[in-house]
Amino acid sequence: MYVSNLSRSLETTLEIVWPRRCADRIYNFDDIGIPRGESIDVGDAFHRNFSRFLKDQWVPKEYLSTCIALGLVIDDLGVEHYESEGTVASENLAGQCDLHGLDRLGRHWVFEIKTTQGDYIFPPRPSEIIQMSLYASLLKVEDPIVACIRLNLKTRKIGVFVSRETQKLVQMASELIRDAA
Domain boundaries, the chain: 3-180
Cβ atoms of 49 and 60 within 8 Å: the answer is: yes
In terms of Cα–Cα distance, which of 45, 103, 65, 110 is closest to 84?
110
Distance between CA atoms of residues 173 and 70, nearest Å? 28
pTM of the full structure = 0.90
| Phi, psi (deg, nearest 5) at residue 137 | -65, -45
Q: 136 with 144: CB under 8 angstroms?
A: yes
pLDDT of res. 181: 59
Q: For residue 162, which phi and psi values (nearest 5 degrees)?
A: -120, 135
Mean pLDDT by 10 residues, the chain (181 residues): 82 82 92 76 90 94 92 95 85 88 94 90 90 90 91 92 85 77 59
- Domain range 3-180, CATH architecture: Alpha-Beta Complex (3.90)
Closest CA to 36 of 118, 143, 129: 118
The per-residue pLDDT for 73 is: 96
pLDDT of residue 50: 93
